[in-house]
Amino acid sequence: MQLYHHPFSLDSQRVRLALEEKGIDYTSFHVNPVTGKNMDASFFRMNSTAKLPVFQNGGHVIFDTIEIIQYLEKIAKVSSGDENIPLSSSEVIEWMHKIQKWNPKFFTLCHIPEKHRRYVSKFLRQVLIARMAETSDLAADYHKKLKEAYETEEKLKNPDVLKQDKEHLIRLLDEVETQLNETAYLAGKEFSMADVMLIPVLARLVILNLEDEYIGGRPNMAKYWIMVQQRPSYKKVIGKHFCGWRKHKTFVKTWCIVHIRTMLRKF
């Protein structure tokens, strides 16, 4: 089993949390979207949306995050040999879809300094244009991605985009806060795949230095956040890259790669 992912990718974090929680071995392939590696022809042929993660088991390839997680649950159940191990309940699945409906893309981009965002955006557009010239059979798909990149820049100029994303996030977090007043975890007394979907959202808020605004003011969520950070899966998947000084190391490393590749393209 192979997983194509990156530590920055929120959906990648979700799938990796599920893999760790279920104790499933897999081969890891890092595909950095910030440096345009998801635009390489080999990856683009497998997934022309260029989105992460991608899970592959033999000839079976899955792109949808929730579908991957549910597939992993089935693998874990079969591997255990215990038919009594339950799959996610309807309540858990409902929470999973509810959380997935909030798209962090524009919210995240709006909280990145404009100078840095424009630098990376320009670099990625250059990558797409180069790939179009190099790989004629994929030119139409690359052109579609290039169009999406320009559309993203235009949407970021619209204050209503951030406003809508923020309002959606607040509604979701308020609902989570209410639920956590009744149960220790999102869908009951036990940790579930609903928590796997939620944890990266909270981690993203912390990475963007928005913890006080969105988590600290919700006491049940604040308590929950402290608790889930103690799980080995969190420490391996997210904490390893983004806790304390490691966060700055991860960002600086990626920034340097982008800068070097941009400079090389000028020669």
What separation in angstroms does the CA of 14 have from each of 7, 32, 143, 151? 10, 16, 29, 27
pLDDT at position 92 is 97
User: Which residues does residue 29 pair with via DSSP β-bridges, in sequence order?
Assistant: 4
60: tokens are 């079976």
Residue pair 96/113 in contact by the 8 Å Cβ criterion: no
Residue pair 190/183 in contact by the 8 Å Cβ criterion: no
Cβ burial 228-242 (10 Å sphere, 16+ → b, else e): bbebebbeebbbebb
| Whole-angstrom distance, CA of residue 261 vs CA of residue 256 | 9
pLDDT digit of tens for each residue in the chain (267 aa)? Answer: 999 999 889 999 999 999 999 999 999 999 988 888 999 999 989 988 999 999 999 989 999 999 999 999 999 989 888 787 888 999 999 999 999 999 999 999 988 888 888 888 888 899 899 999 999 999 999 999 999 999 999 998 999 998 999 999 999 999 999 999 999 999 999 999 999 999 999 999 999 999 999 999 999 999 999 999 999 999 999 998 776 655 555 554 554 444 444 444 444
Strands 2-5 and 27-30: parallel
User: Residue holding tokens 């960002």?
Assistant: 251
| Whole-angstrom distance, CA of residue 242 vs CA of residue 202 | 12
DSSP one-letter code for 38: G
- Burial of residue 181 (number of CB atoms within 10 Å: 0-12, 13-18, 19+): exposed
In order of their start, the domains of the chain are 2-264 (1.20.1050.130)
Task: Enter the pTM of the model.
Answer: 0.88
Residue pair 172/98 in contact by the 8 Å Cβ criterion: yes
| Whole-angstrom distance, CA of residue 104 vs CA of residue 165 | 8
Listing DSSP states for 142-170 in one string gives HHHHHHHHHHHHHHHT-HHHHHHHHHHHH
pLDDT at position 165 is 94
| Whole-angstrom distance, CA of residue 109 vs CA of residue 152 | 10
